[in-house]
């Protein structure tokens, strides 16, 4: 940190958050009082050392060591964008401290990246609030019965996919509209509690047999939508659709008096840059009902 910035240094020194600066080689050049308080390391112990020396030994909840690899500091100096992560740092006394880390590039007057600044907060209340916000965000976009995405999530993903298609001509995205055949008769015959179990069974079958990059959600009632990214061709779209249809057909809900199976009809289509949510849903819905009219338990692609 330049000597002529003593005014700002004094302000930063009195922040509760930890703040430190590194140069392009990730050598620590400044370490504030907040960093001393949270980590237990005095400035004299860390200034002049590289963060790659693994002094703080940041790890993730899964045990991944960030300081020896691609940490937020290195990432922000590579792409010029801020990065953040929830990590656990090593305290001077030996224990682990959960912190929220934020890293941002430092530039000279000409805009060249000359280093980075990292801030970290050990405030447990803040960490708890962030965790609660993440859980709330997930719950708002999750169907409570089936635990797959809900209509809000699906609409957002479809809208984002259409925008992506407008700007990247090589992108291909497929949409599957999936409806359980004769679901009303199932509810009438076995009751809504069994009907709910059927919905959960179908949702789980669809979710576990799509790629992690794809999206499955409940559109409403007994209707599900799947969004498939990087679809190679219409034939590939048909293949995935028929695989899912077959796997649902051969799923089984074992009840005290009966083993219950259901089937689904599918309408499958590709998204286009000129689409809207309404147009692509209407197109997939029309293809779905072709499957219904043609005998159910089948796929129609268009």
Task: State mean pLDDT over 269-295.
Answer: 96
One fold for 3-135 and 141-301: no
| pLDDT tens digits along 114-151 | 999 999 886 555 555 555 556 666 678 899 999 999 99
Sheet of 223-229: strand order equals: 215-220, 223-229, 173-180, 264-270, 299-301
User: Cα(189)–Cα(186) distance, rounded to whole angstroms?
Assistant: 5
Can you give the pLDDT at residue 289? 96
Q: For the chain, give every domain's residue range.
A: 3-135, 141-301
pLDDT in tens, 186-195: 999 999 999 9
Active site residue 222: yes
Task: Flag whether pLDDT at 4 surpasses 60.
Answer: no
The CATH architecture that domain 141-301 belongs to is 2-Layer Sandwich (3.30)
pTM: predicted TM-score of the whole model, two decimal places: 0.59
- Which CATH number applies to 3-135: 3.30.70.141, 3.60.110.10, 3.90.1150.10, 3.30.450.20? 3.30.450.20
Average pLDDT across the chain, whole number: 88
Dihedrals φ, ψ of 156, to 5°? -65, -40
Q: What is the pLDDT of residue 69?
A: 65
Which one is catalytic: 196, 222, 242, 275? 222
Phi, psi of 59 (to 5 degrees): -130, 155
Helices 183-190 & 192-208, crossing angle to 10 degrees?
140
């Amino acid at each position: 940190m330049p000597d002529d910035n003593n005014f700002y240094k004094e302000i930063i020194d009195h922040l509760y958050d930890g703040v430190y600066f590194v140069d392009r080689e990730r050598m620590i050049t400044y370490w504030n009082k907040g960093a001393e308080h949270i980590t237990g390391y005095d400035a004299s112990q860390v200034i002049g050392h590289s963060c790659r020396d693994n002094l703080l030994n940041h790890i993730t909840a899964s045990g991944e060591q960030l300081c020896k690899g691609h940490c937020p500091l290195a990432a922000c100096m590579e792409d010029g964008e801020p990065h953040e992560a929830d990590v656990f740092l090593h305290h001077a006394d030996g224990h682990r401290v959960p912190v929220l880390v934020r890293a941002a590039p430092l530039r000279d007057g000409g805009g060249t990246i000359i280093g980075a600044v990292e801030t970290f907060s050990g405030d447990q209340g803040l960490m708890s609030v962030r965790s609660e916000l993440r859980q709330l965000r997930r719950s708002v976009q999750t169907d409570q019965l089936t635990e797959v995405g809900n209509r809000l999530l699906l609409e957002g993903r479809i809208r984002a996919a259409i925008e992506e298609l407008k700007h990247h001509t090589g992108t291909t995205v497929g949409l599957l509209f999936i409806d359980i055949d004769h679901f009303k008769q199932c509810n009438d015959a076995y009751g809504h509690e069994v009907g709910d179990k059927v919905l959960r069974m179908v949702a789980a079958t669809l979710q576990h047999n799509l790629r992690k990059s794809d999206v499955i959600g409940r559109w409403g009632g007994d209707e599900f939508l799947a969004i498939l990214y990087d679809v190679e061709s219409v034939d590939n779209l048909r293949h995935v659709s028929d695989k899912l249809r077959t796997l649902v057909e051969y799923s089984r809900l074992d009840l005290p008096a009966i083993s219950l199976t259901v089937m689904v009809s599918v309408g499958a289509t590709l998204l286009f840059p000129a689409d809207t949510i309404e147009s692509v849903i209407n197109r997939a819905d029309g293809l779905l009902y072709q499957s219904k009219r043609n005998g159910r338990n089948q796929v129609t692609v268009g």
